[in-house]
Amino acid sequence: MKEYIKNLLLFFLIFFFTTTIFSGIIMPNLSIYYLSTLIILSTGVMMTKPFLNFLTIKINFLTYFLMSSILLIGIFFLLEIFMTGFLVEIITFEGVSLDFLQINGFEMVPVVTILLISTLSSLLCSIFFTLGKST
């Protein structure tokens, strides 16, 4: 139970961090919906280990990362459909111009936004899972 609460709070912080970075993810304004969104995302990542055990796949960094990113992609799509106040919008990148490098501006559609945020979140969750497992 102690490890469950620790992982739940850790994943809360990871998802709070990643959803504030991406401007295309709009979280619900009501606190109960916001909290339930974080609970759904955290529980989805915590289901990675039982899924990998069920599929008899050895749990390491790579398998945890791949399975959690697949689960998070599905959860983000379901949250976009069913959660009130949860929106995924188009992100516009303004572009960067340095002396030796120029990146033009572009727009990311919601599907790419979901892929990026789920990949970043699962990467952070996998890093913390691997670090917690090694201690």
Query: What sign results for the dihedral spanned by CA atoms 38, 43, 44, 46?
Result: positive
**Token pair of 130, please?**
């691997």
Whether the Cβ atoms of residue 87 and residue 26 lie closer than 8 Å to each other: yes
Report the alpha-carbon distance of residue 134 to residue 31 in Å, rounded. Answer: 35
Whole-model pTM over 0.95: no
The string of pLDDT tens digits covering residues 29-57 is 999 999 999 999 999 999 999 999 999 99
In this prediction, residue 94 carries a pLDDT of: 82
Q: Are 88 and 117 a contacting pair, CB within 8 Å?
A: no
Please count the other Cβ atoms lying within 10 Å of the Cβ belonging to residue 113: 19
Stretches in the chain below the pLDDT threshold 70: 135
